[in-house]
Protein backbone atom coordinates (compact mmCIF):
# COMPACT_ATOMS: atom_id res chain seq x y z
CA UNK A 1 0.00 0.00 0.00
CA UNK A 2 2.87 2.35 0.80
CA UNK A 3 4.43 1.80 -2.64
CA UNK A 4 1.19 2.80 -4.36
CA UNK A 5 0.94 5.95 -2.26
CA UNK A 6 4.58 6.79 -2.95
CA UNK A 7 4.08 6.30 -6.70
CA UNK A 8 0.97 8.52 -6.66
CA UNK A 9 3.09 11.39 -5.33
CA UNK A 10 5.14 11.33 -8.53
CA UNK A 11 2.21 11.21 -10.94
CA UNK A 12 2.06 14.26 -13.21
CA UNK A 13 -0.56 16.86 -12.41
CA UNK A 14 -1.28 19.10 -15.37
CA UNK A 15 -4.04 21.69 -15.61
CA UNK A 16 -4.98 24.47 -18.01
CA UNK A 17 -6.84 27.59 -16.96
CA UNK A 18 -7.53 31.03 -18.39
CA UNK A 19 -5.28 33.64 -16.84
CA UNK A 20 -8.40 35.78 -16.52
CA UNK A 21 -11.98 34.56 -16.67
CA UNK A 22 -13.00 37.84 -18.31
CA UNK A 23 -11.75 38.86 -21.73
CA UNK A 24 -12.93 42.10 -23.36
CA UNK A 25 -14.53 41.25 -26.70
CA UNK A 26 -12.60 44.03 -28.41
CA UNK A 27 -9.29 44.11 -26.67
CA UNK A 28 -6.67 41.98 -25.04
CA UNK A 29 -5.65 38.48 -26.11
CA UNK A 30 -6.97 35.27 -24.58
CA UNK A 31 -4.18 33.91 -22.39
CA UNK A 32 -4.14 30.44 -20.88
CA UNK A 33 -1.82 29.05 -18.24
CA UNK A 34 -0.55 25.48 -18.43
CA UNK A 35 0.21 24.51 -14.85
CA UNK A 36 2.37 21.75 -13.44
CA UNK A 37 1.14 21.18 -9.88
CA UNK A 38 3.01 17.90 -9.51
CA UNK A 39 6.37 17.23 -7.91
CA UNK A 40 8.22 16.20 -11.07
CA UNK A 41 9.07 18.40 -14.07
CA UNK A 42 7.29 17.94 -17.38
CA UNK A 43 9.59 17.73 -20.39
CA UNK A 44 9.10 18.36 -24.11
CA UNK A 45 5.73 20.04 -23.55
CA UNK A 46 3.68 20.56 -26.73
CA UNK A 47 0.31 22.29 -26.31
CA UNK A 48 -2.19 21.80 -29.14
CA UNK A 49 -5.38 23.61 -30.06
CA UNK A 50 -8.57 21.83 -31.05
CA UNK A 51 -11.25 23.99 -32.63
CA UNK A 52 -14.90 23.01 -32.71
CA UNK A 53 -16.52 26.39 -33.27
CA UNK A 54 -14.90 29.78 -33.65
CA UNK A 55 -16.77 32.99 -34.47
CA UNK A 56 -15.13 36.32 -35.21
CA UNK A 57 -16.59 39.82 -35.14
CA UNK A 58 -19.84 40.97 -33.59
CA UNK A 59 -21.74 38.46 -31.48
CA UNK A 60 -24.78 37.20 -33.42
CA UNK A 61 -28.17 37.82 -31.82
CA UNK A 62 -29.08 34.14 -31.82
CA UNK A 63 -26.44 31.52 -32.00
CA UNK A 64 -27.08 27.86 -32.59
CA UNK A 65 -24.55 25.86 -30.67
CA UNK A 66 -24.80 22.16 -30.27
CA UNK A 67 -22.13 20.86 -27.93
CA UNK A 68 -22.71 17.33 -29.17
CA UNK A 69 -21.26 18.25 -32.57
CA UNK A 70 -17.96 18.90 -30.83
CA UNK A 71 -17.76 15.57 -29.06
CA UNK A 72 -15.18 13.12 -30.26
CA UNK A 73 -13.89 10.27 -28.16
CA UNK A 74 -15.37 11.67 -24.94
CA UNK A 75 -14.47 15.38 -24.62
CA UNK A 76 -11.61 15.55 -27.11
CA UNK A 77 -12.30 17.66 -30.19
CA UNK A 78 -11.66 16.05 -33.52
CA UNK A 79 -9.26 18.40 -35.32
CA UNK A 80 -6.03 19.66 -33.84
CA UNK A 81 -3.77 22.37 -35.11
CA UNK A 82 -0.58 20.46 -34.55
CA UNK A 83 1.65 23.26 -35.77
CA UNK A 84 1.00 25.77 -33.02
CA UNK A 85 3.90 28.01 -32.03
CA UNK A 86 3.69 26.79 -28.45
CA UNK A 87 6.40 24.52 -27.16
CA UNK A 88 8.65 24.47 -24.14
CA UNK A 89 11.41 22.13 -23.14
CA UNK A 90 10.32 21.96 -19.51
CA UNK A 91 7.72 23.09 -16.99
CA UNK A 92 9.20 22.71 -13.54
CA UNK A 93 7.19 21.62 -10.52
CA UNK A 94 4.79 24.35 -9.36
CA UNK A 95 5.49 26.45 -12.47
CA UNK A 96 3.36 27.54 -15.41
CA UNK A 97 3.71 28.21 -19.12
CA UNK A 98 1.52 30.95 -20.65
CA UNK A 99 0.08 30.62 -24.16
CA UNK A 100 -1.94 33.10 -26.20
CA UNK A 101 -4.70 31.86 -28.52
CA UNK A 102 -3.95 34.75 -30.84
CA UNK A 103 -0.51 33.22 -31.55
CA UNK A 104 -2.19 30.26 -33.23
CA UNK A 105 -5.18 31.94 -34.88
CA UNK A 106 -4.98 33.87 -38.14
CA UNK A 107 -6.70 37.28 -38.23
CA UNK A 108 -7.44 37.28 -34.51
CA UNK A 109 -5.86 40.72 -34.11
CA UNK A 110 -8.08 42.31 -36.77
CA UNK A 111 -11.22 40.33 -35.99
CA UNK A 112 -11.75 39.62 -32.29
CA UNK A 113 -13.21 36.31 -31.19
CA UNK A 114 -16.89 36.54 -30.31
CA UNK A 115 -17.51 32.85 -29.54
CA UNK A 116 -15.23 29.86 -29.14
CA UNK A 117 -15.60 26.17 -28.32
CA UNK A 118 -12.07 24.83 -28.11
CA UNK A 119 -9.87 22.30 -26.42
CA UNK A 120 -6.30 22.78 -25.33
CA UNK A 121 -4.43 19.51 -25.27
CA UNK A 122 -1.07 19.22 -23.58
CA UNK A 123 1.29 16.49 -24.68
CA UNK A 124 4.32 15.97 -22.47
CA UNK A 125 6.81 13.51 -21.08
CA UNK A 126 7.62 12.96 -17.41
CA UNK A 127 11.37 13.09 -16.78
CA UNK A 128 11.79 9.46 -15.69
CA UNK A 129 9.29 7.83 -18.09
CA UNK A 130 10.07 6.99 -21.72
CA UNK A 131 6.55 7.54 -23.12
CA UNK A 132 4.50 10.67 -23.79
CA UNK A 133 1.20 11.51 -22.13
CA UNK A 134 -1.66 13.80 -23.13
CA UNK A 135 -4.24 15.71 -21.15
CA UNK A 136 -7.23 17.51 -22.69
CA UNK A 137 -9.06 20.59 -21.38
CA UNK A 138 -12.17 22.03 -23.04
CA UNK A 139 -13.38 25.64 -22.89
CA UNK A 140 -16.24 27.68 -24.31
CA UNK A 141 -17.06 31.35 -24.09
CA UNK A 142 -20.17 33.12 -22.91
CA UNK A 143 -20.92 36.78 -23.34
CA UNK A 144 -21.77 38.67 -20.17
CA UNK A 145 -23.91 41.76 -19.90
CA UNK A 146 -20.74 43.83 -19.55
CA UNK A 147 -19.54 43.23 -23.16
CA UNK A 148 -16.95 40.72 -22.04
CA UNK A 149 -16.41 37.12 -22.93
CA UNK A 150 -16.15 34.67 -20.07
CA UNK A 151 -14.18 31.45 -20.48
CA UNK A 152 -16.05 28.47 -19.07
CA UNK A 153 -14.33 25.13 -18.55
CA UNK A 154 -16.48 22.21 -19.73
Instruction: Determine how β-strand 80-81 pairs with β-strand 42-56.
Output: antiparallel
Per-residue pLDDT tens digits for 38-96? 999 999 999 999 888 888 776 655 455 555 556 555 544 555 565 688 899 999 999 99
Share of the chain above pLDDT 90, in %: 33
Q: What is the largest CA-CA distance in the chain?
A: 57
Q: Give the span between the Cα atoms of 68 and 71, in whole angstroms.
A: 5
Q: Give the span between the Cα atoms of 112 and 141, in whole angstroms.
A: 13
Res 141 pLDDT > 90: no
Asked whether the beta carbons of 119 and 75 are under 8 A apart, the reply is yes
At 67, phi and psi to the nearest 5? -60, -25
- C-alpha dihedral sign at 73, 76, 79, 84: negative
Domain ranges of the chain: 22-153
- Fold topology of 22-153: Immunoglobulin-like (2.60.40)
Amino acid sequence: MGAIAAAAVFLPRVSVSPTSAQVPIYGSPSLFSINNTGLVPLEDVQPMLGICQLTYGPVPEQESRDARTCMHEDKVLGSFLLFTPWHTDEIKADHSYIISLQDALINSARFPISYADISIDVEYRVAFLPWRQRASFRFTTRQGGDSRLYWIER
